Amino acid sequence: MGKRADQEYKDYISKLVVEEGRTATDVAFEMELSPKTISRWVKAYRTKSNVGKTNETYITPTELEKLKKQHEKELAEAREEIEILKKAMHIFTKNQA
């Protein structure tokens, strides 16, 4: 008897195929699964995605990189703003003395 995969794992594998554009064969080879099984999971995932919004608690590696870059950009902007405010504060306090 084979292993049973939970729904979160099936959705994760399906998301790799649907949203990252990878082939079911490549993912099947990497995850040591049958391409036919993955195709079935992808079909169910697409049906479920079309029915309504899903409450996803996982992200793909590509999405993780995109979020990381976005957060790094926001952090750099915030640091720049802080430096500007520090300089402005120094100028205004210097003129009062």
Report pLDDT digits (tens) over 4-48.
Answer: 778 888 889 898 888 888 888 998 899 888 889 999 999 998 888
Query: Which residue bears the tokens 């790799």?
Result: 16
Task: Name the strand (E) or helix (H) holding 74.
Answer: helix 61-96
Question: Which residue has 């640091």 as its token pair?
Answer: 79
Residue 1: per-residue pLDDT: 41
